[in-house]
Amino acid sequence: AQSVTQPDARVTVSEGASLQLRCKYSYSATPYLFWYVQYPRQGLQLLLKYYSGDPVVQGVNSFEAEFSKSNSSFHLQKASVHWSDSAVYFCALSPNNRIFFGDGTQLVVKP
């Protein structure tokens, strides 16, 4: 069965620090993976996506993610966070017309 797990409900980091938001997936075939961000009271915006090829994918606002088939993971990273990065981040898996989202990780960036 397909599923996405984001083990951290909330992550707090200081501005300027590096960030990793974890995502683990369960899927037997080639996964199509996405990271979305949701700012308060808004819809979801795409940060980046992975289909195949280079396991490190670049996204908007200097976010990147690394796909690992051996670990079934797709962790989101950023070298230096800004206070405006505070939001909820969702990892998603899309095998077909069903799209599976993780529960989200709330990122709080402290000044």
Partner 1 sequence: AQTIHQWPVAEIKAVGSPLSLGCTIKGKSSPNLYWYWQATGGTLQQLFYSITVGQVESVVQLNLSASRPKDDQFILSTEKLLLSHSGFYLCAWRGLGGRDTQYFGPGTRLLVL
Judged by the rule CB under 8 A, the positions of this chain that interact with partner 1 are: 32, 34, 36, 38, 41-46, 49, 51, 88, 90, 92, 94-99, 101, 103-104, 106
Least separation in angstroms between CB 16 and partner 1: 26
Asked if residue 110 lies in contact with residue 11, where contact means CB atoms within 8 angstroms, the answer is: no
Nearer Cβ to partner 1 (32/72): 32
Tell me, what DSSP letter sits at residue 91?
A: E
Nearer Cβ to partner 1 (43/111): 43
User: 60-95: b or e for each residue (b if 16 or more CB lie within 10 Å)?
Assistant: eeebbbbbeeeeebbbbebeebeeebbbbbbbbbbe
Minimal CA–CA distance to 88: which of 57, 56, 42, 49? Answer: 42
Least separation in angstroms between CB 96 and partner 1: 5
What is the chain's Cα-based Rg? 13
Nearer Cβ to partner 1 (7/16): 7
Nearer Cβ to partner 1 (4/19): 4
